[in-house]
Amino acid sequence: MIEKRLRHTRIYEQVVEELKDLIASGELLPGDPLPPERQLMAEMGVSRSSLREAFRVMELLGLIDSVPGKGRFVRKPRGEAADSRNMPLEDEAVLELMEARRVLDPAIAGAAAMHAMPSDLMKLRKVLSRTEKNLEDIEKRSQDDFDFHLVLSEATRNFVFINIVKMTFNLIMATHERIYSLLSDKEAFLNEHRAIYEAITDHDVAAAQALAAGHIERIYKTLQEALALEVK
């Protein structure tokens, strides 16, 4: 079922990709049990610790469920809401998403400042250059926002951070026109991204964390106030 072609570095990431491929191809369907650990270890040529780390990541990504005493299963879709990419978020969900980012964004920025390489900095500069040109275009500005935070996550060299950012922005993109129309202070948006970039360039972990925290806090409060006014 699975070829022994996994690299010896960051093995759990490769295991996750193999299992995701099985789910995407339909070889493992929603509700199906995952093969036993011993079988997967033998077929993939990996250790139990690497396999279990991959399971933890897949649970975090919402791809599998672990049932004590029964094993691990491919997660079943939660009704029609399973395809979150096409489902606009309710106001409460928008704010909950931003609350989560208040915790995650500073951690990601700090890790990026610690681990960023010249290639990451070059990608960030390109995104900032595009953003400067696209400020008046909501569609392009939202894509630039995603690209900036995705490059930040990639600079952390942390597989979990990368996938969390992808999941977060999949949800945001479902309601992006409304969210970005409420975030009307476009210059602040660009300047805050520039400041985060400068801190990462300097490998200043504390500054990157503080700037990212301030950035998402402003976004959270702006959306909170705007959505409250709409309700009134």
Question: How is 13-43 classified by DSSP, letter by letter?
Answer: HHHHHHHHHHHHHTSS-TTPBPPPHHHHHHH
Rounded Cα distance between 24 and 20, Å, is: 6
What is the predicted pLDDT for the residue at 201? 98
Q: Name the least confident of 4-13, 32-41, 132-141, 220-229.
A: 4-13
Other Cβ atoms less than 10 A from the Cβ of 225: the count is: 11
pLDDT: which is higher, 89 or 179: 179
Q: Which residues of 106-134 are buried (b: 16+ CB within 10 A; e: fewer)?
A: bbbbbbbbebbeeebbebbeebbeebeeb
What is the predicted pLDDT for the residue at 7? 42
Tens-place pLDDT, residues 20-79: 888 888 899 999 999 999 999 999 999 999 999 889 888 877 788 888 778 899 987 644
What is the predicted pLDDT for the residue at 203? 98
Residue 84 has pLDDT above 70, yes or no: no
Unique residue bearing structure tokens 């309700």: 231
CATH 1.20.120.530 spans which residues of the chain? 82-231
What is the predicted pLDDT for the residue at 202? 98
Which two tokens mark 189?
């948006």
Q: What is the CA radius of gyration of the chain?
A: 20
Considering the four listed CATH numbers 3.40.1190.20, 1.10.10.10, 3.30.70.20, 1.10.3470.10, the one that applies to the domain covering 11-76 is 1.10.10.10
Q: Could you tell me the fold of the domain covering 82-231?
A: Four Helix Bundle (Hemerythrin (Met), subunit A) (1.20.120)
Q: How far is CA 128 from CA 44, 151, 190, 214, 216, in A?
A: 41, 11, 7, 18, 17
Q: Residue type at 141?
A: R
CATH 1.10.10.10 spans which residues of the chain? 11-76
Which two tokens mark 178?
């409304």
What is the predicted pLDDT for the residue at 9? 46
Average pLDDT for residues 108-137, to the nearest whole number? 96
